[in-house]
Structure 1
């Protein structure tokens, strides 16, 4: 039996009702344990109500009057603004700039990736509303592995387009991309959607109150939910291991520059 077959059979034994475990942001060993076992962990109350309100106001400002150092992306009927954390003006956007700069979060990134990690390099502010459509609503893993910090700024229930994932499935990408990663080759969007049979529809919704942080290994099989009522406002950041400082290539031989 091949490693790939064993992996597929093992993943099929995962329960679709498997919970996403929670941990405190200061409990680094517990967070790392969950990331290694499940690929995802929930940190309730990462931002308090005051910080959530301020971050919400800052996101609206980013959407309506995007600064020159940020990029307003084409995003269906919703909103998405991408920025480098080092460019964010802390006087004008204090919570967006500080939420992903907290030392306890960097302790998690350091424990996860080790020496040479790249901490919270890129930040996104995202608004999904009824009618939002995007390719990340398809089950996938990300092309370049990173640790994603994803904070809900609105209460997110089943109808608000919650993040979905399949705990334990981060081993799929690890196996499928082993050779590419050794050669520093980035897969295509199509590659990261070529998944073992039986995976579709098995992700679980990750619900949470405003201020909840979801930490996940981007190798996990995941997708964005579809908003059927209300909206989902969130901010997220991307952290990388030292490997991201090396040159990576697309399959056509060109250099990979994003994210």
Structure 2
């Protein structure tokens, strides 16, 4: 899509965020090398979404910082940050009666002056992104009329059109059936960006992530490759479940089978 994307190095240093007397993220340290796909996993309420929001700028950390190629993301203007970081949020609902094509084209906004019209190149980028996520036929539909899965793919397309060096995704496979879960995560890995994403599905995280950070009660309690991190002991400690962890004979990826209490 108009030449290669330049991936960036992300470094999070001692990042904390608290509100109402509660510390939702507590002293997080994280790195993502250029072009890496790094996953955040952990139980509900562990701080994944809060940490992501601190990275892409909707929350300001109470302590610590997030650096992109050495530049502090929180000292940038929103527009400057949006030229380098694209986001796919967990809930992409909107009441604006824009078409899918118009929503996807919004990804070009950080690169344009206010009210500058779309160019032929902008339109070509949007069309290519819609094709890549498999919803080109929906380009003229009203965005609010889409199903949850269709909406999620449109937001991924918008992020691709933004041409970022860092892509931040919060549960990007929400509402997607199995085929599109695999398609979207393959697309993210092949986008040329550095990717930071929160995932609930540990098997998807094991297959698509180069490295994984595990959060529990706002703290990072483990990090490393999927093979290093996703052990039966960690799943018992962090998630409170028993599981069998093995290596898939075809893919070579770490694979988790959860055991019901009656089988333990």
Q: Which has the larger radius of gyration?
A: 2
The answer to which structure has the higher strand fraction is: 2
TM over 0.5: no
When normalised by structure 1's length, the TM-score is 0.29
Higher RCO (CA 8 Å, separation ≥ 6 residues): 1
